[in-house]
Structure 1
Amino acid sequence: MEDTERDDIGNGENTDADTNGAHNENSTEITKHTEKDGPMTVIKEEEEERPFTSNKRLPSQNGRPSFLRTPGGDPSADDRSHFNENNEKNIQNQNGKADILITELREEDNEKESKSDTESDIDEQEISLRNVAPYEPPDDDDDDGWDTDLEIEEDSKTPHDPTYRTQYTKLCEQLGVVPVSYFTRHMVDKVIIMRSHGLGVQGTRAIARVLRDVISLEKLDLEGNWMEGEGGKALSKTLEENEYIHDVSMAKNKLGSQGAYYVAKMLLVNTNLRKLNISGNEFQNKDAAGLADAMEKNTTLRELNLSHNFFGEEAGEVLGPAIGANEYLDVLDLSWNNIRRRGAVAVAKGLAENVILKTCNLSWNGFGPEGGAAIADAIANNSSLLELDISGNRLTCDVAVKIGKALKKNETLTVLKMGNNPISTSGCIAIVTDLSNSEGSVLSHIDLSEIPVEFEFLKIVEELKQKRKIEILHGPILSSGNTAEDIGKRAVDPRRKKDPLLVLQEHVVINDSRLVSMLQKYDVDHSLSVSADDFVAVLEELQVPFDRKQLQLIVDKLDKTENGRINYGKFVENASRATPQVPVV
């Protein structure tokens, strides 16, 4: 066989193919590569001595595999080792399947590699199984040796590049991707934000390999880069080794079950991460087991975002106990999943048992009445939570009544968001009434957005605001209410919402009913009419929030006879008619 030459990945040098001795005609070519020596040589060994087994797990050496299998005939785009095609020798397996090219590392490392394989197998079982089976990597999944084909051998004549740009460029060349200019400029910054850069699997691998050695980075945001499970695996392995990054976002990257597995495994060993966003990654019920185990065992993570995934009832049953057992998380986001029925009850029960959590977002899960009742119990029993979001959970009026009673017992909650729930006006009244009668509640903000209310609710709110400082958001104002008995009654015409006369009516009904008695003082002849100046004086005395232009507009509308006098009897009749008769729950 003729001598051949092969380019080395690390430094591009060539070497003689027959430097290791004579070749036998019946032998098979195997590429031998040593990490320190750099050059590759082609030697021959007997096929019987090293048979190829298709289902054999690839060994690894301190995080690097000793064998790299690639198609011998036509290298795929995903495996870019830049070997010289003229020097590749195909090895046909015993079953006559696809040709395989085997790259071998140093033989003296085989003993270490075998030990590493055993440890890796044990590590893969560290994530406990719960009610559902988590993702399990295939037998030939090369966990510890993920970046073996991405090793960069620095030329002794080339000085070390502290900016890591040289290393990153070489890695991109190996993987066949274009270097990201933004990353090249900022890879040694404290904060890197690279959202929607289209990295893909290979681009993520290159970045992850470089960041393994960077010690300046503290925050990394790679949201929306389509890294998928393989990219999530590479970045998770980096986070296992990098001891400086404490804020990471891998949101909207389609990590799937494979990514969830390696993220959970990373959380079992990482001791530096404080904030992790893995929302919008299509995690399913079966992925909750590993993440729940990580939540229980990780002692450093403070903020975890699991929103916008595919978690359902089964996932809620698994995550609930983990929430209750966790003693370190300050912020948890489970919004925009599908956690209902027993799952919702389990999550609420975990929230009641938790003694550390400060902020929890459970919105848009569809808890329903059953989950809502459990949330009410959690509010009554939790003594650490400061902010709770349960918007969009199909909570009913009965649930609102229970939450109102729970708020009377709670002495820590300051923000409650429960908008977009069909609790009706009666439910809103129940909540604000209990708050008004509560002495221990410290609630300062309540969000009832998109829930229609009426005047009786607004009147109670004004009374509550007189007692303490509180901000209450609500939906549109109805003239008749929106209880079951009020369905079909006419509401306020949206076109009249800014009508000064209507605003005055609302102000009188809600804030001050003294208008009539004060006007009567100016009505000396008891004709139920006063002069325009007297009417304006009364409004100013009542501190109605109008400017002069608005007051004049009201006077013009009420002075229908244009004689300079205002018939307040008709006005009082209109205001009385606008007052809804809704019982206070």
Structure 2
Amino acid sequence: MERKGCRLFRSDTAYLLYLHQQKNQPNKEELEKKTEKERRIQTYEEDCHQNGVSCLSRFSRQIGTSDIDMSNACLNSLELLTILNTVKSDHKVGHLDLSGSTMCVKSYKHLCKFLRNNRSLSILKLRNCFIQGEILHALTASLQTSKVEFLDLGNNGVNDSDCETLSKLLTTKTLKELYLSHNRLETRNLRHVGISLAKSRLEMLDLSWNRIRFTGAIEIARGISRNTNLRRLNLSWNGFGFEGCVALSEMLEANNVLTELDLTNNRIHPPALIALIRGITRNSALKVLNLSMNPIPVSYTCFLLGSVLKNSSIQELILKRIVVNDDFLDIVRSVQKTRHVHVEYERCLSVPSLDQQTMSEEVRAPWLFNLDPLNLLFMLKEKNRAQDFFNKINRDGDDVLSYQEFRELFKKAGIPVSQLVLDKIIDFLDKNKDGNIDLSEFLDGDKRIKKITRGQAKETARRESYTKYSRSFRKARIDSQTYRLDIENSQ
């Protein structure tokens, strides 16, 4: 046994004991680390005593680590101040979670001051903290000088009035992932958001569980079409519907960087899916598409979803809660012979697929495009006087309008309508609920329809800037008079 300085030891046993003690003795770095943590805990306890708050053992255990998780701790402003004072000089803290804390204005002032001076924090979670209005504005301003790359602002009540602030947040240079799920973004004032999305450096954006539809959906899609950084986009649980899918189709034609798109539960019925397929088949970057929980009938899956697989570069197609048929599975097996494709669906039933002619007749029905029956009736009236229009409908001359006479009116105009459409028209006009519409009821109903139409005209004037959507509507092969979809030329 080699022994250095063996003269210092009386025996081999003494030397072995010395080696054992040296092995178990903590090194200098560990001692300094332990001392640093104890020093920070002592500083935290003194700060709590000075501010008159209790020390949180949950936080004390996390001092010295890179992740600080204080979610659902219901911190008040002084408790938050003591926590931020403790970690402000700790350059190892990279993850801070304050979700679920109902903090006051003072709390956010402390947080904003901390973010302006901190250079190590990269992940910040503030879910369910009531961040909106002036608080969101102050937080956005403080993030401009921070190093935060991941920001979660879910379930904070962010709405359309915060869109101007939100547009500034989207252009934060360091931000890579932004989560805005479970908020209240709708259709108004999203133009600024769309413009900022075109310039954003985000790689992941989550807008799920909002109320984005109509012009809001168009603006979001328009902005993403010019974005060159976004890789993953979650739009699930909104209401994009037909209008949104037409805009998304144009986006996919122009965008060549988006790889994942989640459209779960977005009211995508067959006509909307046909509009979306056009963009999917012309995009080579999209690899993952989620269409779960959308109203796609079993008999349509072979023609529509099969077209997505055969004519695109999709590698993963998620169809949870969607039932497919045997013909669709045959297409899946055929595609898997040439490239790797993963398809997830609810179940398979032996339901025959519709032929193209039958499906064309079904998806062309106007009611699928959410046309209001009252607007449809007012459109047929054109510039005729209400009494002349009444006499035109009243073919049998009995001075009352019946259910059958309304049906004949739409049939003669070449507009097929469902029973639900006629029921809504008669229910609106029939004030005494006897099942027939006399002249006085018709004249009164005409006045009310005009009032509703004037309100909608004002809304239309507000949307005059959305000329691109008008072009999108024409590109989707929609007849402006009948609102019918030409699916033969839409693929």
TM class, shorter-chain normalised? 0.5 to 0.7
Post-superposition CA distance 1:259-308 (Å, at most 9, x none): 312221112222x1111111111112222211211322x21111111111
Alpha carbons of structure 1 residues 229 and 412: separation in structure 2 relative to 1, 3 Å: farther
Alpha carbons of structure 1 residues 374 and 228: separation in structure 2 relative to 1, 3 Å: farther
Corresponding residue of 2:17: none
| Residue 133 of structure 2 is aligned to residue 257 of structure 1 | yes
Contact 1:418–1:447 (CA<8 Å) still a contact in 2? yes
Alpha carbons of structure 1 residues 237 and 466: separation in structure 2 relative to 1, 3 Å: same
Aligned length: 325
Corresponding residue of 1:576: none
Corresponding residue of 2:57: 181
Alpha carbons of structure 1 residues 230 and 368: separation in structure 2 relative to 1, 3 Å: farther
| Residue 152 of structure 2 is aligned to residue 281 of structure 1 | no
Corresponding residue of 1:400: 273
Post-superposition CA distance 1:369-398 (Å, at most 9, x none): 101211122122210011111111111212
| Residue 86 of structure 2 is aligned to residue 215 of structure 1 | no
Corresponding residue of 1:461: 332
| Residue 87 of structure 2 is aligned to residue 203 of structure 1 | no
SS in 2 for 1:371: helix
Contact 1:211–1:238 (CA<8 Å) still a contact in 2? no
Alpha carbons of structure 1 residues 285 and 208: separation in structure 2 relative to 1, 3 Å: farther
Alpha carbons of structure 1 residues 174 and 429: separation in structure 2 relative to 1, 3 Å: farther
CA distance in 1, matches of 2:199, 2:117: 27
CA distance in 2, matches of 1:483, 1:267: 54
Post-superposition CA distance 1:543-567 (Å, at most 9, x none): xxxxxxxxxxxxxxxxxxxxxxxxx
Matches within 5 A, 1:149-188: 163-188=39-64
Corresponding residue of 2:194: 320
Shift of the alpha carbon at 1:255?
A: 2.4
Post-superposition CA distance 1:36-72 (Å, at most 9, x none): xxxxxxxxxxxxxxxxxxxxxxxxxxxxxxxxxxxxx
Shift of the alpha carbon at 1:174?
A: 4.2
Alpha carbons of structure 1 residues 428 and 263: separation in structure 2 relative to 1, 3 Å: farther
CA distance in 1, matches of 2:331, 2:37: 68
Q: Which of 132, 144, 164 is equivalent to 1:268?
A: 144
Corresponding residue of 2:429: none
Corresponding residue of 1:422: 295
Contact 1:397–1:426 (CA<8 Å) still a contact in 2? no
Q: Which of 452, 459, 473 is equivalent to 2:323?
A: 452
Post-superposition CA distance 1:477-508 (Å, at most 9, x none): 3333697989xxxxxxxxxxxxxxxxxxxxxx
CA distance in 2, matches of 1:249, 1:385: 25
Alpha carbons of structure 1 residues 448 and 233: separation in structure 2 relative to 1, 3 Å: farther
Relative to its length, the structure with more helix (as a share) is: 2
Q: Structure 1: state its 5+ residue gaps.
A: 1-158, 487-582
Matches within 5 A, 1:356-375: 356-375=229-248
Corresponding residue of 1:308: 182
CA distance in 1, matches of 2:214, 2:352: 31
Alpha carbons of structure 1 residues 437 and 283: separation in structure 2 relative to 1, 3 Å: closer
Shift of the alpha carbon at 1:358?
A: 0.7
SS in 2 for 1:475: strand
Contact 1:228–1:255 (CA<8 Å) still a contact in 2? no
Q: Structure 2: state its 5+ residue gaps.
A: 1-34, 360-487
Q: Which of 164, 169, 181 is equivalent to 1:294?
A: 169
Matches within 5 A, 1:490-569: none
Alpha carbons of structure 1 residues 187 and 248: separation in structure 2 relative to 1, 3 Å: same
| Residue 214 of structure 2 is aligned to residue 338 of structure 1 | no
Q: What is the root-mean-square deviation in Å for CA atoms of aligned residues?
A: 2.6
Contact 1:312–1:338 (CA<8 Å) still a contact in 2? yes
CA distance in 1, matches of 2:343, 2:279: 18
Corresponding residue of 1:192: 68
SS in 2 for 1:375: helix
Post-superposition CA distance 1:130-177 (Å, at most 9, x none): xxxxxxxxxxxxxxxxxxxxxxxxxxxxx9987422332233334443
CA distance in 1, matches of 2:192, 2:301: 33
Contact 2:300–2:353 (CA<8 Å) still a contact in 1? no
Alpha carbons of structure 1 residues 207 and 475: separation in structure 2 relative to 1, 3 Å: same
CA distance in 1, matches of 2:144, 2:49: 33
CA distance in 2, matches of 1:436, 1:238: 49
Shift of the alpha carbon at 1:231?
A: 2.6
CA distance in 2, matches of 1:161, 1:472: 50
SS in 1 for 2:318: strand
SS in 1 for 2:281: helix
| Residue 353 of structure 2 is aligned to residue 477 of structure 1 | no
Contact 1:251–1:280 (CA<8 Å) still a contact in 2? yes
SS in 2 for 1:392: coil
Higher Cα radius of gyration: 1
Contact 1:284–1:311 (CA<8 Å) still a contact in 2? yes
CA distance in 2, matches of 1:290, 1:242: 22
Contact 2:144–2:173 (CA<8 Å) still a contact in 1? no
Contact 2:248–2:279 (CA<8 Å) still a contact in 1? no
Post-superposition CA distance 1:399-445 (Å, at most 9, x none): 2123223222111111111111113235533444334543xx43210
Contact 2:37–2:63 (CA<8 Å) still a contact in 1? no
| Identity among equivalent pairs (%) | 27
SS in 1 for 2:301: helix
Post-superposition CA distance 1:221-244 (Å, at most 9, x none): 222222355433322221111111
Post-superposition CA distance 1:506-546 (Å, at most 9, x none): xxxxxxxxxxxxxxxxxxxxxxxxxxxxxxxxxxxxxxxxx
Alpha carbons of structure 1 residues 443 and 189: separation in structure 2 relative to 1, 3 Å: same
Alpha carbons of structure 1 residues 431 and 168: separation in structure 2 relative to 1, 3 Å: farther
Q: TM-score, normalised by structure 1?
A: 0.52
Shift of the alpha carbon at 1:475?
A: 2.6
| Residue 111 of structure 2 is aligned to residue 235 of structure 1 | yes
